[in-house]
Structure 1
Amino acid sequence: MTTAGGIARYDRSVLYKYLNPNLVSIISKGKDTLSLSLVDGITGAVIHTQQHSGETIDIDSICIIQNDNWVVYSMYVTSPVSEQRIVVIDLFQESKDVSGAPKTSFKTANVTASTNSFIYPEKILSLASTDTKFGITVKSIIALTESGSLVEIPKYLLNSRRVDGRKMTTNDQMDDFGMLPYEPVIHHNTFKILNHKNKLHISKNNNKILLSPTDLESTSVVCFVNEFNEFCTVVQPSSSYDLLKSEFDKPKLILTIVALLAAYIITKPFVDSKKLNSKWVD
């Protein structure tokens, strides 16, 4: 989960996130329809239902992750067109449901779902989400592709509220972090391949992406493990904002602190003497 309960908008209003640790995702397949239902695990209430019809989907290819107020799932569509699709659902609630009144699991909030889909150029075998110690850093999606790559996809790219059908305005840019115009294709970015040129050997059914926070809020550890590989690295979705850069001039900082401390020690007796003399004059 995150420490932020809402998104501050350009007009100073707040878009409150629907944060429910008991949310459960259920995939069901009918004759011609695939459905994803988001269910409250306590009450059994259906929060949102997403349906896909008129296309053939490889149900074994479906991967789902939940974090914060969103659900992201990937699936491989075989017809009418073969494509790897990523669907994102962002959940929000009304301000009255996040007031200071007593909360109960048996009262369902008024939830609004914002959803959108994207196409990815490679088949995805597994998904995971980064997590940090305090939940301040923005999230990234970690995807394992069929070609043996571990790819970082920033969550702000998979934003269901990306501006579609019109030109972006200044208000749109202020409406959410990293807000972008909607593009249906998430382009392959080689700089986001965590294993670089070292291809991972894929197992048939034992590929695990493991993630862990570190003591640095900016950094998460990502590991990929199966019978062929043990690969670990770190990701910093918001860059290394809590680390000093290597070119930072530490000696100059230390000299400045020492000089200020010396100036304080030297001038303190004069200041105290001046205060004492002013009291005698009064």
Structure 2
Amino acid sequence: MKLTSLPKNGLSLDYYYYDDGGMDDSENSLPSDFVSLIDVWYKGHALYSKVIWGIPSSDSANGWFYNYPFRIDLSQHSAENNENNNGDVFLSTVSGVSPVPSMEQERKDGKLWRELNDGVKLSWIVVNKKMKRAVNLTSWHPLSGQRHWPTDADFVLRFGSVLPAKEVLPCQVAECILLMKFRVTGMGGEEAGEPSTLALTELSMQIQDMGGVHLNGRCSLLLLKEALSCHRSRNYDEVLESCNLYLKAQSELKEEKIRSECRFDTLCVFSGIAIFAAICTMWYRKF
């Protein structure tokens, strides 16, 4: 088994290609073997539920799914299966949140942002029908997020888990990233006691290695298959600790990469100075 990168115009793309070295395809999991069971809660109330058979857009005849970045986007999946969406995809609506007088006020106190972080929970269970096993790939509670991005009315929550990748990636671990985006559709009124209204506009899954590289479909299927047989825990503190350790190692890797690049830049500068000095010396001696 080996990992290589797919070249394009002499450059490496930002996803991995998995070369199975002649492995029998019957031993690998197919996209049709997987079933996703997704549930979203807000303050204990069911907000959104979805069952996806197989992996969307993986049945292309040219096999692009296996060689391009892996991503499951439920907003696109819902749009394809909703004839009356009129170009707008709203997976569900959250009601009952505190009124937001204005986005300027929300930027100052962050009350709505705290409510989303404390109240939203996500469960994304992946089932392999062939193996007859299941695993929940989410951290239940948000691990991080970003408010007022990409617009003032958008709030992004990031869930995830650490996946083993001993036989797939050099770093031997990867991160399953689950992104959920809410958009404020109604500000509400504090004086009238009207709650604000939010729409769940995005829910997606993707897998990255420790360097932040998006994995392709072939690699991702192997990781999902391996996750079904690895150690799992229902202890949120243990899950949170593993994610924090992963982020710490990822940060150290980035810092080491930056230091290496700085050392290389310094070496190039001194080499350039030395070459310039040598040329000047030769020119001076010649004349």
Does the alignment reach a TM-score above 0.5?
no
Give me the TM-score of the superposition, normalised by structure 2. 0.27
Give me the TM-score of the superposition, normalised by structure 1. 0.27
Instruction: Decide which structure has the larger Cα Rg and report it.
Output: 1
